[in-house]
Amino acid sequence: MIRFEQVTKRYPDGTTAVDGLSFEVAEGELVTLVGPSGCGKTTTMMMVNRLIEPTSGRILLDGEDIMRADPVTLRRRIGYVIQQVGLFPHRTVLDNTATVPALLGWKRGRARERAAELLDLVGLDPKTYGPRYPHQLSGGQRQRVGVARALAADPPVLLMDEPFGAVDPVVREQLQDEFLRMQATVRKTVLLVTHDIEEAVRLGDRIAVYGQGRIEQYDTPGAVLGTPASAYVAGFVGADRGLKRLSVTAIERGDLEQPPVVRMDETGQRAAARMRAQRARWAVVLDADGDLHGWVGLEELDTADAVSTLAHRMNAWVPVGAPLKQAFGVMLQHDAGWVAVLDGSRFLGVLTPAKLHEALRRSVDADAQGVARGQVDFDSVSDA
């Protein structure tokens, strides 16, 4: 969808903002550009819609050289979101959102209908927020309107320059969650500029890590964190990159252990006998369909007529596919030695600290070897 071919931007005073960039962004992919201030990441993004024009090289948008396109027409095909949003203060939220469709000649009713759809998509009720003016919104709400406005004409490409940087950390995380949910629905091709490696890792399908005017590594978040291409990249992502990688490594079924299990309809004596045979002090309680109903301790079972009367609520659980970071956080929150992993309500197994560490190491080795996690030899993990 977007391809850079040896693109350089050099200013008349001799300053080279970007130097010989070559990379490609696939259709529907979200690529984060991350690096220190002045490294060229914003220049890279702004060359795509020709707010800055390259000195040499080519940028292709869906196979077309952008320098052969009319700049105004080009920009109306590309959504653009900036940190300070840039809403028109004298226009309502609904009219702000309908700006680009109106410029493209859409009828007023159709433009406003599209604006209302987009406000709803970003989590703002159009009946409540549509008639308001920007000064009546919080910073996070204005940022949502900015995203909705950028999407209103259904552009194939979205450029985002520090879109969540002007809000507090809690709201920022909420906006990131909302944007990921929205991106899963609309699947735009996105270039997102940030200076925050954690945001880059959390949002990006791939990350471009910038040095001075150059991309030092262009890869998946897991690969950047697990196998940095250079000492510079390793230093930029930080010594805690192993912890950061927890946020981009999903829990898989192969990561789980199978603990002792008792059924809701069993008698306490029968369940206790099986647990003693397994030398287990506790067990997971499931119903006949394999759905999780809690846990129970061995000492409680001997005098119980039915397991169903004893099951304790299971607070420490996560869904399969959740990041390891989420599982680790739940362990700490509940002071638990393991977390249950569910597919819907169906119990799959438990993730222990040892298995969490193993999953992380398997993920790193899998990226290094270019194979799936399940193909990594166990010995290479335990011996590493």
Q: Is residue 21 within 8 Å of residue 214, measured between CB atoms?
A: yes
Q: Is residue 348 within 8 Å of residue 254, measured between CB atoms?
A: no
Q: What are 221's two structure tokens?
A: 């978040």
Listed by start position, the domains of the chain span 2-248, 253-358
Q: Give the integer Cα–Cα distance in Å for 314 and 33.
A: 40
The secondary element (H helix, E strand) that includes residue 350 is: strand 346-351
What dihedral angle (degrees, nearest 10) is formed by the CA atoms of 180, 185, 187, 193? -20
Q: How many helices (H) and strands (E) does the chain have?
A: 17, 16
Residue 352's pLDDT is: 94
Residue 32's DSSP bridge partners are 192, 207
Q: pTM of the entire structure? A: 0.78
Does the structure show a pLDDT above 70 at 344? Answer: yes
What dihedral angle (degrees, nearest 10) is formed by the CA atoms of 29, 34, 38, 42? 20
Contacts of 314 (CB under 8 A, 6+ apart): 284, 292, 293, 294, 295, 340
Q: Is residue 79 within 8 Å of residue 68, measured between CB atoms?
A: no
What would the pLDDT profile of 87-140 be if each residue is shown by its tens digit?
Answer: 888 999 999 999 888 888 899 999 999 999 889 888 899 999 999 999 998 888
> pLDDT band at residue 382, thresholds of 50, 70 and 90?
very low
Does the structure show a pLDDT above 70 at 378? Answer: no
Residue 270's pLDDT is: 86
**Homologous superfamily of domain range 2-248:** P-loop containing nucleotide triphosphate hydrolases (3.40.50.300)
Does the structure show a pLDDT above 80 at 14? Answer: yes
Q: Mean pLDDT in the chain? A: 89
Specify the CATH architecture of the domain 253-358.
Roll (3.10)
Q: Is residue 205 within 8 Å of residue 220, measured between CB atoms?
A: yes
What would the pLDDT profile of 193-229 be if each residue is shown by its tens digit?
Answer: 998 898 999 899 999 999 999 999 999 998 898 889 9
Burial of 333 (0-12, 13-18, 19+ CB in 10 A): exposed
Residue 190's DSSP bridge partners are 30, 158
